[in-house]
Structure 1
């Protein structure tokens, strides 16, 4: 799903109250971390990821790694925090993506 401006604005509003549940630290970006991230997005559809101070990667590198290797979309970058969205694989868990599609 390609997001339009109004859809991104809606997702940013929904993510406003969320706390980051994933972090990128000194281990960097790995395939297992990406698999865990994908699994969490299949359940929640919208999460935040925090890039720790001791990480050897920048926000642009994390954004490129995520977007190049998965169907996950980066909705917003706020300092060292990324807001990520992905349509859930399970149709029963697609509450947020159904609301986004109607916008």
Structure 2
């Protein structure tokens, strides 16, 4: 289900202060990166990922690939940073970036 504009605005505000959880560089998306992304999305729901790739077109494709593979939604992409979201049906209040902010 796509995010509403008000949800995106709220998530962008929350994401502003987040540090990147995962960095993707020359080796691309490895098995370890996939596992860490899955863990981070389960724990935090809203995460920031740094795509250390110079070509903007490749960054855009990589961001979409990550979202498709992990059933997540792209909230924002600015430069080499992307903010992605996936709802957890039973979030941990101590880990979820959405619940800790409220």
TM-score with structure 1 setting the length: 0.78
Q: Which residue of 2 aligns with 1:50?
A: 50
Which one is further off, 17-26 or 30-39? 30-39
Q: Once the two structures are superposed, what CA deviation does each residue of 1:39-60 show, in whole Å capped at 9, x if it has no partner?
A: 11111111111112579x8211
Q: Any idea what the Cα deviations from partners look like across 1:16-47, whole Å, max 9, x if unmatched?
A: 11111210011102344223201111111111
Q: Give RMSD over aligned pairs.
A: 2.5
What displacement does 1:13 show? 0.3
Q: Distance in 1 between matches of 2:10 and 2:29?
A: 28
SS of 1:21's partner is: strand
Inter-partner Cα distance in structure 1 for 2:47 and 2:73: 11
Which structure 1 residue ranges, 4+ long, deviate > 3 Å from structure 2? none
In structure 1, the partner of 2:65 is 65
Match of 1:24 in 2: 24
Aligned to 2:87: 87
Worse-superposed segment, 80-89 or 11-20:
80-89
CA distance 1:31–1:65, change in 2 (3 Å): farther
- In structure 1, the gaps of 5 or more residues are none
Structure 1 residues 53, 92: closer, same or farther in 2, change over 3 A? closer
Between the aligned partners of 1:59 and 1:92, the Cα distance in structure 2 is 29
Q: TM-score, normalised by structure 2?
A: 0.78
